[in-house]
Structure 1
Amino acid sequence: MTQNEAAAGAAKPADKETFLSEILGVPVVLKEKKIGTLGDLIIVETARIPEVKSLYVKRSFGYPSLIIPWENVVELGHRITVNITALEPFEANPPEDALLLKDYVMDKKVLDLEESEVEVVYDIRLVQRNRKLYVTDVDTGKSARLRRFGLGKLTRVLSADTAEDQMISWTYIQPLPNNIGSFKGDVKLKVLKENLAEIHPVDLADIIEELDHDQRMAVFASLDNEHASDTLEEIEPNVQRDLIGSLDIAKVVPLISAMTPGQAADILSVIPHSQAEDILEALSPEMAKKVKAITEKQEEKVIHYTTQKILRFQPETLVEYVQNDYPNHARGKDVIMYIYVVDTLDRLLGVVDLKELLIADDKAPLSAIMTENVISLNAESTLKEASQEFERYGFRALPVTDDEERLIGAIPYRDVMDLTHHLLE
């Protein structure tokens, strides 16, 4: 929330989705001349989802195959256009430790947690983003089988019938073995209960959205309240509705209570009115009042979105004190990317961005590194005013003060800009 954090990046191109079956065997073209066909993709598993590093290009008439790095690909579609100076430097066979997507994953069995067969991988979904190509899912469903038989057009006709379709996020897939040579094994899923606690709520939300209802409920039920609450905030509204509608109110109320009022209102706005009323009645009177004011649009003041779960310290506090015990300081807080500096009367003196804290001298007091020119909101500020400030500066949260400049709390960006009930319209 410092002045130099103002944000407004240029619009990024939309992600482009394709399936491996749609590009296998397509011509690979250099300067409008066909040099071979796509035989496979070589991937690396360096993150939660693999990244395509090279094309394995097959050639006819006894010519050696080519391994062309992904960064040399200009176009990916009904043909693949590459930009290289000559073929000879790229003539090679895949190295022994290369992970070949088609060879090692397509047509392999998928085993569940008990080693029982789930299905067979008929296709693999790829997403091109920011000039990189990622492997996001394996497809074991009916549409994938149709694509494999060259009947891709039928998938659009039958798209409404998805009962047999199952797209499994790669985040579920165990890493493929190293030095696998010609892999003949099965594709195995990760052990969920040993991994769920380590998955960030945003990533976990993506996984949960991919599951069917029974799997979704089983996964969600295994989470502790704090993790479940954070994850619920990140899930798409239709999935939120599915989850909350299937949970007992005794389970829902602690989840809603752990949220900020804005996020709680966002959740309640997507479920049936009668159910939302039951939940409101079970919340604390103060929380229910704030949430109700938001959902019914009775008031559009930022005070109803403000959270007091923030980091605040006095100006003489040393950087090392905040750094050394930051996980404990931040535990249970709704805004953790900013440290607010206040005097003994809680008047707001300045703010320190987390990034600035991490690079600051350990022995420096917060007063030496804080930004004194703080953009803040008043308790009487409207949501429209908050929206304008967020759009202008790109802050991730804004402090809220009273008429005496005392710090009341802060309002997160998401609680104004990302809500589905559109109070600003």
Structure 2
Amino acid sequence: MGVFNELSDSIVNFCEVVATPIYNHRGERIGRMSDLFADYEESYPTVLAILFRQNRKSYYLPWEVIKSFSCKRIVLTESASPLSGDSFPKRGRHRQRTNILSAPKDEEIILYPALGKVILDRQIVDTFGKKVVRVNDIQLLKVGQKLRVTHAAIGLRSMFRRLGMEGVIDSTIKLVKPDAEYLSKTVLIDWKHVHAISDPNAKSTIRLGLTNEEIEKIHPADLADILEDLDLHGREQIFSNLDPKIAAETLSEVELDLQASLIINEDPDDAAKIIENMGTDEAADLLHEMGEQRAEKIISEIEDDRFQEEVVELLEHEEHTAGGLMSTEVFKVTAEMKKSEILQLIQDESDEFDSIYDIFIVNNHHDEILEGTCSLKRLLVWPDDIHIGDIMKIDDIKSLTPEMPWKEVAATMSKYNMITAPVIDERRELLGSVSVDDLLPWLLHER
């Protein structure tokens, strides 16, 4: 006899088997199933055991001692002997990360948490839809004599099923709108795209997390949206495991106040590594949001001396002025450079700049007195051997002063259709540039 002889459906919903009575081989009821344990080292976890409570204590039964499994009853073999515990001890097999476990070590005993406890009614990250959702049910599939976890169910239909109201709701909708999409559609997330957020109160031996490569494949803008939707614990869990470069790119996409809350608990050394991967203007904005003492500790840990110096200079300006808005990462050359040399320089330094619209020409790389400007578009139409000094604009260069308020900056750039504007001091030394992107948060009333 097979274990599923009394279960005709190939798909099993978790909520339909919870509270199923469990009988021993003599037909005596010993309890009701409260949860399942599954092999989290597998992409589609195999059910390992069932959990039940008796006399206010938790016990589990390995799948091998189950003689018959259905939504009406679970029958055990004669050799079945309940084991005490609310977690399932399992020896790690692989050095890999999964959507539940973080790199289990060979031969390490891992205490697996119960499946429903990990997933149901908790925030999870759907890495396919790139969003945060709350799971109402779990879908399992009969595979031979085993059950495998295949999907997480979200949406109204799974919620009503969980509440035991699916039949009533379905009947009502059929009367009103027989062809309603609701009746034929259950919103499911493939298990390989489900990433659990661990309980902050979980035992130390239970290692849940989002520390696998799939999270880092999500675009920083989407990852930022996910962080904004998570609670504080979920945010910290994901953010603390990101590579510094990805963390920096993600920070650039979230609100400034959330940036500060994400990085506030990082060690100064770790925070500095993240900040070094940001633009100097973004780094200065973020440090502005922190207390002076905290900011100084982080700045002292920055290893790149030039970056550190530029950030300190930016912090000297009020954030609502051109000096506070500007980036010191400016593409600048000298007048004697040829087009071919400049294009090669752009290739060599492409990682240093998000985008290049205007080229600023300075007298030398020491004083950096602004002599002219030339758009990249204008440079491209000239022969390779042309010197940029011969085609640069030198008359009536529109520029900003570091003290200029942001509204005046916006008015100036709008009036003259500027994508970027140089910021110079009284000596015409090039201090940095302000881009339209730098102004957007202010224009959209985000500050």
TM-score by length of 2: 0.45
Larger radius of gyration: 2
TM-score by length of 1: 0.47
